[in-house]
Amino acid sequence: MANKYRYPTGVRPLLIEETARRRRVEARFAQALERAGFAEVVLPIIDYAEPYAPLEAGETSRQSYRFVDREGDLVAVRSDFTPMVARALAPTISAADLPLRVYYRGDVIRCDASRLGANREMFQIGAEIVGDPSIEADIEVLRLAADLVREFGVHPNVIYTDVAAALPALRPVLSTKRMTAGIPTALRGIADKLLSGTASVEDIAPFAPEAAVRLSAIAAALPDCELHLDDFEEGAGYYTGIRFRIYDAASRTKLAQGGRYDSLYQTFGTPAAAVGFTFTIDDLD
């Protein structure tokens, strides 16, 4: 018999002081985002699993809690806000509504079998710009995310790349960090540079010209951010352009991640470019 005082792995209550701290952090985020022109949307904690099936790789689907409801439908508990925002907004927006700036907040629940004891319930706050494909929107989102970290007296370390810089043929090299036999001869030079961390924007320009233009513009506008062309992270396959992570520069704790996902809204019926970020706020005060 389970101990009646225990909670399931990865979840716990927040008592008085911890709840007050979270509400302070949450309020500061909401105020900052509203000052920046973002409006809040509230999303359900559960949804049908089927609409998200085209987006899910095997690992992603294993991270979500699913169950069959009383009507016999397969339902998933919220594990990622970004697709849920797209599913909610896509059927309702028109060209006249764009660009649209929205933010959201709430818990996500993930079953990450690879991290024993890791938090499975996390409180997140995020924002996105919908309907603006410009480089300026990329820069705005990166700058806003970094400024939010600074509001809490933390120095941000922003690392970014562009998933388009990793051609499909190069992705096995970047994910395994070693050369593979299947890499075409014409790509072995750039693959070697990516593996050694010496690749520059000029090196990728012949293979990914649009990504090179965007990365050059971001580097000029945000010189404090770090471009890592060799930084390739599997998962969240809806990203199509820039992808970034923000760390506490002192502790190296990851605070936020985000990027551009210009095909996501089309999955739910309305084409719209989008770029945004999500913070897991437990490490800010």
- Six-digit token string for 210: 């649009």
- For the stretch 130-167, pLDDT in tens is 999 999 999 999 999 999 999 999 999 999 999 887 77
- For the stretch 113-134, pLDDT in tens is 544 446 788 999 999 999 999 9
Q: Could you tell me which residues are beta bridge partners of residue 226?
A: 159
Fold of 16-47+77-167+208-283: BirA Bifunctional Protein; domain 2 (3.30.930)
- For the stretch 55-64, pLDDT in tens is 866 555 567 8
Tell me how far apart the terminal alpha carbons of the chain are, to the nearest angstrom.
38
Going by the DSSP 8-state scheme, the letter that residue 190 receives in this structure is H
Kindly tell me the sign of the dihedral angle through the C-alpha atoms of 153, 157, 162, 166: negative
Dihedral, 179, 185, 188, 189 alpha carbons, nearest 10: 160
* pLDDT more than 70, % of the chain: 91
Q: Burial level of 59, CB count in 10 A (0-12/13-18/19+)? A: middle
pLDDT, average across residues 200-213: 90
Q: Could you tell me which residues are beta bridge partners of residue 67?
A: 75
pLDDT number for residue 59: 52
Sort residue 117 into left (φ over 0), alpha (ψ -120 to 50) or beta.
left
Which is higher by pLDDT, 49 or 56? 49
- Per domain, the residue ranges of the chain are 16-47+77-167+208-283
Contacts with 156 (C-beta within 8 Å, 6 or more apart), sequence order:
145, 146, 149, 150, 246, 247, 248, 249, 255
Indicate the pLDDT class of residue 188, thresholds 50, 70 and 90.
confident
- For the stretch 234-250, pLDDT in tens is 555 799 999 999 999 99
pTM of the model: 0.90
pLDDT number for residue 57: 60
